Amino acid sequence: MLHVNENYRKIQASYLFTEIAHRVASHQSANPAAKIIRLGIGDVTEPLAPAVVEAMHRAVDDEAGRANFHGYGPEQGYAFLREKVAEIDFRARGIDIAADEIFISDGAKCDCGNIQELFGDDVKIAVGDPVYPVYVDTNVMAGRTLASVDGRYPGLTYLECSAANGFVPTPEQAAGCDVVYLCYPNNPTGAVATKAQLQQWVDWANANKALILFDAAYEAFVRTPGIPRSIYECDGARTCAIEFRSYSKTAGFTGIRCGYTVVPKNLVAYAADGTAVELRPMWTRRQTTKFNGASYITQRGAEAIYSPEGQAQCRATIDFYLENGRLMKTALEARGYSVYGGGDSPYLWVDVKGDSWDFFDRLLKEANVVTTPGAGFGRAGEGYIRISSFNSRENVLEAIERLRKAL
Ligand code: PLP
């Protein structure tokens, strides 16, 4: 008889987005004329940068002739892209990362999800609460937890993030853990971590032979001087951290699919007999076995993000989203709400002074505006809603008008 992987049965149904879709659909059918504005979505709305589009067109032409045709590429990514990444994302900012420590992929979600394959079944994992669910669910699927109890999986350590700690946990909360997922700028809270806060984590990880999995998917939104865009800005991070990057929000690649992971040389985990084992060759092996590379056309598009025009165009689009966030934050604060995030992140995290689903329903019914209830990101998300800045200016201004009336 065929048995299923029982760990999959421990996964809680993805209640959040199903429930949102259900409530929005019933509101729309009861109010067919309502023009609903979605401020809940984490997907981009602006098109690709012209420099990226031109590069992808040229890459299609390459594929159209024998001379420049590309079939399977290197699983780790083409050197033309890895060298640009190392040079512009790291070395130009004084960070020591080499091209052969970069692994190009089809996005950060897969890498964040797959990385845990490198670690033992018994490693102790810490995640934030609220949290981007991929870190949690992939460890549940791998069998590192029991079935959930009251929305939490025994076996995981939850690092509670609240206004009191500025939505940045401290290493004391992860005592006894081997792996900690940190995401800054954060999804969903929009919080950023200071260099001193990240340095504390790096020092803790090095002292405890632990590993930081640093998700920097939103680094391009950082505008405040001094706020780190990479964990490797901290001293000693090369010996205790892997970093994930994504072109999804940075350059509108949610539909194109490309990102990368940094695994430094000399970063190790330990075998049962205490032998240090390098993670970079293990990740190389994992990727070459199970992944066949991002497409040539995609990687040429990603390369163009690093051209002077590409950099300016992508920055302008991010500035546009940040301005959306600033407008919404100002309007909500004027209504007396405490609003976290924005500024260095596309997400606003609004303290709704009550139940997050009740507030969600109120905005849906009274303003035809869809948000994301914080409770869906974990127990510590209760009492908040997440608002995303990914939208047209027209929708944002209309939503602000409606929120002013409803609140
Ligand atoms: N990490 C975080 C924190 C995210 O919010 C997202 C997407 O929403 C991802 C990773 C996934 O990025 P990608 O589109 O590159 O898979």
Is the minimum distance from the CB of 372 to ligand 1 under 6 angstroms? no
| Tokens coding 206 | 């090095």
Residue 258 CA, closest ligand 1 atom number: 15
pLDDT(219) > 80: yes
3-state SS of 93-110?
Answer: HCCCCCHHHEEEECCHHH
Phi, psi angles (nearest 5°) of residue 185: -55, 145
Arithmetic mean of pLDDT over the chain: 97
> Is residue 277 a contact partner of residue 270, using CB atoms and an 8 Å limit?
yes
Is the minimum distance from the CB of 248 to ligand 1 under 6 angstroms? yes
What integer pLDDT is reported at residue 41 of this predicted model? 77
Query: Please, which pLDDT band fits residue 66 given cuts at 50, 70 and 90?
Result: very high
Residue 383 Rama label (left phi>0; alpha psi -120 to 50; beta):
left
Query: Please, which pLDDT band fits residue 394 given cuts at 50, 70 and 90?
Result: very high
Is the minimum distance from the CB of 106 to ligand 1 under 6 angstroms? no
Residue from 16, 136, 243, 246 to probe ligand 1 pocket by mutation (most atoms less than 8 Å from CB): 246
Query: Please, which pLDDT band fits residue 361 given cuts at 50, 70 and 90?
Result: very high
Furthest C-alpha separation in the chain: 67
pLDDT(13) > 80: no
What integer pLDDT is reported at residue 155 of this predicted model? 97
pLDDT digit string, tens, across residues 132-175:
999 999 999 999 999 999 889 999 999 999 999 999 999 999 99
Q: Is this prediction's pTM over 0.85?
A: yes
Query: Would you call 61 exposed, middle or buried from its count of C-beta atoms within 10 A (0-12, 13-18, 19+)?
Result: exposed
pLDDT(12) > 90: no
How far apart are alpha carbons 228 and 234 in whole angstroms? 8
Angle in degrees, CA 328, 334, 335, rounded to 5:
95
Distance 109 CA to ligand 1 centre (A): 5
What integer pLDDT is reported at residue 28 of this predicted model? 96
What integer pLDDT is reported at residue 214 of this predicted model? 98
* Domains observed in the chain: 6-46+311-406 (3.90.1150.10), 53-308 (3.40.640.10)
Chain-centroid distance, C-alpha 272: 32
pLDDT(193) > 80: yes
Residue 368 Rama label (left phi>0; alpha psi -120 to 50; beta):
left
Cα first-last separation, the chain? 57
What integer pLDDT is reported at residue 18 of this predicted model? 86
Which amino acid residue places its CA nearest to atom 12 of ligand 1?
108
Residue from 41, 181, 248, 253 to probe ligand 1 pocket by mutation (most atoms less than 8 Å from CB): 248
Q: What is the chain's length?
A: 407
